[in-house]
Amino acid sequence: MPSSSEDLAETARVRRNWLLSTPALVLLALGAAGPLLIVAVYSFLEAGEYSGVEWRFSLDAWFQILFHRDIFDDTISLADAHLTIFWRSVKLSLLTTIATFIFGFPTAYFIATRAPKQRALWLFLITIPFWTNLLIRTFAIMEVLRNQGILNTLLMKIGLITTPIQILYTDTAVLIGMAYVYLPLMVLPMYAAIDRFDFRLVEAGYDLYASRWQVLRRVILPIVKPGAIAGSILVFVPSLGAYVTPRVLGGGKNMMIGNFIDLQFGQGRNWPLGAALSMVLLVIVGAALLAYVRVSTKENPHG
């Protein structure tokens, strides 16, 4: 009887929890799953004559992601422009992740090794950019990188260059802009990992005659690896779908997949292709998150 009473109480508790969660689940289904379902359905329809879709099943949108059919002789070739955009998006996202790690790890280490009263101030300074609209921050970087901007003016005044360097409207400008925008997303999880680090392990490494590089590579980095992975995911995922920064700093010439999707729903008037590209982006992001989950599980199998 006691076990039966306990089972009934547990069942009632589970039902109550599900009932309390119902409003949030409904909102999640309507606000997230619903639009994604619509996009998925659109990707299997025909493009409308002037925009929108025709409600006829078609795989043309998925075919057009990788291939191009000639309008005159129906010959099929690889869609080089699409592949270039995909490659540029993945490449710049990876380079952004690497750049933010290179600058974010020393920053997080510096903050974590300050006195407790100073850490709050440094973290406050790191989060200040989030208080400003992304578009404004991107235009600020634009003012730094343009031909008559701060960077070129400074380099010319100190005599390193005689003519301005064309940085704006290049992949380099997009990379610098995204690294600046997403740097706090790398610093914060790295700081959280380093803050829990037991620095007596570093002292033990030095006592065993390890060099600074060996302590960094064999002691510090393996322990803070979960924070580095979390920061990398937080940077890579939004970088892959970035729209504002490539649009402004790339000048429309250095298009990434987010801009390409917008083009299909706008001037391109090919909603099925835009929907198919959106689903491909979703799959790539899902694969990155799945890889993160698998790595995290291996790092902490009992957590």
The residue whose two tokens read 């974590």 is 112
Q: Residue 55: what are its φ and ψ, rounded to 5°?
A: -80, 65
C-alpha to C-alpha distance for 181 and 175, rounded to whole angstroms: 10
pLDDT digits (tens, 9 = 90+) for 169-192: 999 999 999 999 999 999 999 999
Backbone angles phi, psi at 169, to 5 degrees: 65, 35
Region of 159 please: left (phi>0), alpha (psi -120 to 50) or beta.
Answer: left
> For 188-234, how does the pLDDT look when each residue is reduced to its tens digit (9 = 90+)?
999 999 888 888 888 888 888 888 888 888 888 888 888 898 899 99
According to the model, what pLDDT value does residue 1 have? 47
For the chain, first and last CA: distance in Å? 34
Using the predicted structure, report yes or no on whether residue 111 has a pLDDT greater than 60: yes
Using an 8 Å Cβ cutoff, are 65 and 81 in contact?
A: no
Q: What is the mean pLDDT of residues 249-259?
A: 86
- 3-class state of residue 268 by DSSP: coil
The average pLDDT across 76-98 equals 92
Torsion of CA 63, 68, 69, 73, to 10 degrees: -160
- Summarize pLDDT for 17-70 with one digit per residue, the tens: 888 888 888 888 788 788 889 999 999 999 988 888 999 999 999 999 999 887
Mean pLDDT (whole number) for 78-106: 93
DSSP helix/strand/coil, 78: strand
**pLDDT classification of 3: cutoffs 50, 70, 90:** low
